[in-house]
Chain A
């Protein structure tokens, strides 16, 4: 597929607990970095539309959130829409922005995401974290998000022999990567022993298998491919994208050891991009729990079904490996500000492919093709996008 859309700028707030900043101010941080990242400059009035992904920011602003974000950064009057697909909200906001450009309607569009999770009490946060699974049955069984991924992990371990150690290896790798990411929520390395021995959250997943709750915002600038060079000499092109949906409840799905929504999304994205899984040089995948990253390796075709545990164990997803995965630290260590995660992944791939990551030690070598994999809920939605330089 000939690329019709390019990414020419990207910004991301610091992820973590932002006691002093609201979602508006976090979005402003991302927006300012985005504007500054446009090599040849951008006049804000050139922006036609803003697509914002958000789950609900803890109920702070459920309505008209996108217009609020736009007006706060000086863009009143633009076409502004909020996209909600749980944890994949801004992965989908990005694709909606692509579609808007591909339709010919708009030339220059912002896709972004925001979430404020840490303003809400721990009680309310538990309410919020449970909103994207199946409410009628899973919630009434006392299920939690960690529980859903734990039940997948348990079966994955049963069917394929995936080990407890392999789960923890994902956490260790992503913490190691986040150590080099100044914008990550956790910038500390952890040992395998520490990861293995952390308190159980939902058997077989322990605390270090789980991503944190995070405040954060991210935003990327997309434009029609033909005008990309006006903004920068090194645009990153959207080579292909795909989305998928599935039954919300795990009990309704064909399988719980794979996310069918992600398989569908990946198949479509590869087809459109005209590449094979092994062509990917660097990937940001949705590791809300360590098992999710192992399943992602398989769903994305980085390895055979059931071989995800070996893929991490053999170091194939490390910085030096075959396909470095989550060099940003991933959701696990960079943080997971739900609605901001998808375009946060694009921010990382944009910088990796342009060789502009903040700390050179985290820069992948000779990468030309990047991929983002953003999953909503426990796999009810998924968006996969392939990028190339």
Chain B
């Protein structure tokens, strides 16, 4: 099943909690999430860790409707209703997928500025999964 096991989740905690990417020492490309071999030069396995700012711009998004969520998100969808999932272009280059929070689906627009916040994603087998979501940057909400 498409199931994120606890060990699989744990291995990615530096990315999920701290937005830690890998900068290729050969070509400088920031790989986030990490790849085995640099995504850009496709040669180097030599990386250094780099903490991303979490600031970015919405490239595209969708609004997952009630009753359409994966089962581990059914509680969120039941109590919270629809939720937004976006592709965000981080200022440092990588594009990443995450939920939006602290905003209403109707307010979301392609090109909107957002920043990462660490939130609770879901709980499964009694274990909470935390991870980054994005919320609108204040300047964007204020126009």
Contact = CB atoms under 8 A, between A and B. Distances in A.
A136 B60 contact: no
B70 A203 contact: no
Contacts of A251: 87, 94-97
B68 to A, nearest CB: 5
B105 A203 contact: yes
Contacts of B8: 135-136
Given A136-B33, A139-B2, A251-B97, A144 B87 contact: no
B1 A141 contact: no
Given A136-B8, A203-B105, A152 B60 contact: yes
B110 interface: yes
B2 A127 contact: yes
Interface size class for chain A? 35 or more
A155 interface: yes
Interface string A186-215: 000000000000011111110000000000
A231 interface: no
Nearest to A123: B71
Nearest to A127: B1
Contacts of B70: 126-127, 130, 139, 142-144
B39 interface: yes
A147 B64 contact: yes
B4 interface: yes
A138 interface: yes
B2 A133 contact: yes
Interface string A102-145: 00000000000000000000010011101111111111111110
B85 A151 contact: yes
B54 to A, nearest CB: 15
A382 interface: no
B73 interface: yes
Contact of A201 (B9, B59, B68): B68
A137 B96 contact: yes
Contact of B63 (A133, A134, A203): A203
B33 A140 contact: no
Nearest to A142: B73
Contacts of A147: 62, 64, 68, 85
Contact of A139 (B4, B62, B76, B105): B4
Given A140-B129, A142-B83, A203 B62 contact: yes
Given A130-B2, A139-B4, A158 B68 contact: no
Given A127-B1, A127-B2, A140-B129, A154 B85 contact: no
B46 to A, nearest CB: 20
A135 B60 contact: no
B61 interface: yes
Contacts of B95: 251-252
B4 A202 contact: no
B112 interface: no
Interface in A141-180: 141-144, 146-147, 150-152, 154-155, 158
Interface in B1-22: 1-4, 8-9, 12, 16
A158 B60 contact: yes
23 contacts: A59-B1, A128-B1, A128-B2, A130-B1, A131-B1, A137-B97, A138-B97, A139-B4, A140-B129, A141-B85, A142-B76, A142-B85, A143-B64, A144-B69, A147-B68, A151-B60, A151-B61, A154-B62, A154-B110, A199-B65, A200-B63, A202-B68, A251-B95
Interface of B: 1-4, 8-9, 12, 16, 33, 39, 59-65, 68-71, 73, 76, 83, 85-87, 94-99, 105, 110, 121-122, 129, 131
Interface of A: 59, 123, 126-128, 130-144, 146-147, 150-152, 154-155, 158, 199-205, 249-252, 256
Given A135-B2, A143-B64, A203-B62, 8 more contacts: A126-B71, A127-B3, A127-B71, A128-B2, A133-B2, A135-B4, A142-B83, A202-B65
